[in-house]
Amino acid sequence: MPKSLIKSGAVIDGFTVGECVHRGGMATLWTVTHPDFDMPLLMKVPRVSEGEDPAAIVSFEMEQMILPRLAGPHVPMCFGTGGFSRQAYIVLELIPGNTLYGRLPDLPLTYDEARLLVAKIASALADLHRQNVIHHDIKPSSIMFRPSGEAVLIDYGLSHHNHLPDLLQEEFRLPYGTAPYMAPERLLGVRDDPRSDLFSLGVLLYFFTTGERPFGEAETLRAMRRRLWRDPHPPRKLRSDYPPWLQEVVLRCLEIEPVWRYPTASQLAFDLTHPDQVKLTTRSERLKRDPLSTVWRRRFNQGAIQPKPKSDVAAQLASSPIVAVALDMAEGAPELNEALRVTTQRILATLPAARLACLNVLRLSRIALDRTLDEQGSNKHVDRLVALQHWAAPLKLDESRLSVHVLEAVDPATSILEFAAANHVDHIIIGARQNSLVRTLLGSVSAKVASEAGCTVTVVRPPQLAHSSYEHAGAEAGEVAG
């Protein structure tokens, strides 16, 4: 292996090396400049000299393969890489500020601050998983925040890209990563399940809200393996004021079986941004860990946690979308709402892990001061929530898959679009208004949503009776022949 060429003032592939800003176990970090890139840059150089851990080399190879393919605000932008034949390096955008590790002295954080913080990280993870990458080293020191607020995930040396060879596959006899945050299935050699990242994020949420790590600081493999059968103390045992919804979220992330966790990071982010919509199961009530009988069954009857065949990250995400259905309650279009229910049912039937958000827009007047109470004195907002729940009841969805939302807005289309963007909605189902007079006056909500949404949109119309479609065709026949 050639000697490192990196020192202050050296020029490598057009990058001028500045000063060393960090010396870690696996790599050193240097500031660099390049005449073509007018932004602060960082060069990451692996430690590969004699006697260093060979894992450092493989991790660096993996990072070199993955980073140039990533895009978006939640990853550091990559500006160049150099191979081991001359001088191995990766040049990245320098993210200003510190990692989340700097917040450790402030723990525990308030529930609300922790909730918003982890929701941002979950959104970043969702974006990473959509790019077919599992991070595998989610912990405070791998997380930064942009000045604009988005979480940025750094350090991809242990990551898995579903479309690339996994160089770490057989590299280590022991699972490699950060022990307190490692998901139990990683101890069994599973590297292709994105829900491993949700477990690590659950550890972080537990730690940030209680001040204690759920599995301690175990470093030995023997101690780490305990998490294959031993569940952590419920947070409510540590803090009596711990909100039940938050315990529900934390313990769902920390489920031993990946399939019992949230199916996607987007769905976790959704619950964290809508705490009032979290379905409370027995998880939320627990004050004690599982009884020893359960623990012993898990430990000595491990059939249930044997490694599963390879999973396809993209297919798993695609089977667990967030679907939003926009309903018009005020104008009372029963045929349309029935048609929407039929379409929604068909879409959900093929997607057992999808969750459904039912939306209704309570239109605010542009001029007049709005009153929350109607003429009869009942609360409009609550009435709409009840109506949405009533509409959804025949779908017979488990509560954890269903949420209802009344959005108050002047412009319905914009509020639906904003909800969809903020909540990573994958599919919007919306009805086309049949009353042409209203549509002419107000513009079509469904048309605006369909044309401007960043996701798939299904526009639903009620089935037309034979005579009405005949009349419709007749009316247009004058303009369009045939």
For other proteins, how many residues bind (rule: CB under 8 A)? 18
65/295 with CB nearer other proteins? 65
Q: Which helix (H) or strand (E) holds 145?
A: strand 143-145
Nearest to 25 by CA among 176, 174, 222, 215: 176
Part of the chain binding other proteins (CB under 8 A), chosen from 24-32, 61-69, 229-237, 390-398: 61-69
13/106 with CB nearer other proteins? 13
Sign of CA dihedral 109, 115, 120, 123: positive
Does 49 bind other proteins (CB under 8 A)? Our answer is no
Does 51 bind other proteins (CB under 8 A)? Our answer is no
Q: Which of 19, 36, 38, 170 binds other proteins (CB under 8 A)?
A: 170
* Cβ atoms of residues 420 and 428 within 8 Å: yes
Does 57 bind other proteins (CB under 8 A)? Our answer is yes
Nearest distance from C-beta of residue 87 to other proteins, angstroms: 12
Q: Tell me the two tokens of residue 318.
A: 């695609």
**Residues in 332-361 at the binding interface with other proteins, rule: CB under 8 A:** none
CA distance 198 to 104: 20
Does 166 bind other proteins (CB under 8 A)? Our answer is yes
Q: How many of the other CB atoms lie within 10 Å of CB of 476?
A: 9
4/141 with CB nearer other proteins? 4
CA distance 224 to 203: 13
Q: Render the burial of 205-238: b for 16+ CB within 10 Å, e for the rest.
A: bbbbbbebbbbeebeeeeebeebebbbbebbbeb
DSSP string of 314-355? HHHHHTS-EEEEEE-TTTT-HHHHHHHHHHHHHHHHT-TT-E
Q: Which of 171, 212, 338, 408 binds other proteins (CB under 8 A)?
A: 171
DSSP string of 279-312? PP-HHHH--SPPPHHHHHHHHH-GGGGSPPPP--
Does 83 bind other proteins (CB under 8 A)? Our answer is yes
CA 277 → CA 270, 303, 478, distances in Å? 9, 34, 52
169/294 with CB nearer other proteins? 169
Nearest distance from C-beta of residue 138 to other proteins, angstroms: 23
Part of the chain binding other proteins (CB under 8 A), chosen from 142-150, 162-170, 400-408, 452-460: 162-170
Which amino acid is located at 475 in the chain? A
Nearest distance from C-beta of residue 1 to other proteins, angstroms: 9
Nearest distance from C-beta of residue 162 to other proteins, angstroms: 8
Nearest distance from C-beta of residue 82 to other proteins, angstroms: 10
Neighbouring residues of 437: CB distance < 8 A, sequence distance ≥ 6: none
Q: Which of 25, 85, 334, 482 binds other proteins (CB under 8 A)?
A: 85
Nearest distance from C-beta of residue 254 to other proteins, angstroms: 31
Question: How big is the chain, counted in residues?
Answer: 482
CA 395 → CA 383, 385, 391, 399, distances in Å? 20, 16, 8, 11
Q: What is the DSSP letter of 6?
A: -
164/447 with CB nearer other proteins? 164
For tokens 């009596």, the residue is 240
Helix ranges (H only) for 107-239 are: 111-130, 195-210, 221-225, 235-238
Nearest distance from C-beta of residue 241 to other proteins, angstroms: 49
Q: Which of 20, 164, 351, 364 binds other proteins (CB under 8 A)?
A: 164
132/423 with CB nearer other proteins? 132
64/264 with CB nearer other proteins? 64
61/328 with CB nearer other proteins? 61
Part of the chain binding other proteins (CB under 8 A), chosen from 168-176, 272-280, 281-289, 419-427: 168-176
Does 90 bind other proteins (CB under 8 A)? Our answer is no
Neighbouring residues of 124: CB distance < 8 A, sequence distance ≥ 6: 74, 143, 150, 151, 152, 153
Does 307 bind other proteins (CB under 8 A)? Our answer is no
54/96 with CB nearer other proteins? 54
Q: Which of 8, 49, 169, 435 binds other proteins (CB under 8 A)?
A: 169
37/84 with CB nearer other proteins? 84
Nearest distance from C-beta of residue 84 to other proteins, angstroms: 5
Part of the chain binding other proteins (CB under 8 A), chosen from 105-113, 156-164, 234-242, 446-454: 156-164
* Cβ atoms of residues 320 and 267 within 8 Å: yes
Does 61 bind other proteins (CB under 8 A)? Our answer is yes
CA distance 359 to 408: 11
Nearest distance from C-beta of residue 132 to other proteins, angstroms: 9
168/429 with CB nearer other proteins? 168
Q: Which of 65, 107, 116, 442 binds other proteins (CB under 8 A)?
A: 65
Q: Give contact residues for other proteins (rule: CB under 8 A).
A: 54, 57-58, 61, 64-65, 83-85, 162-167, 169-171
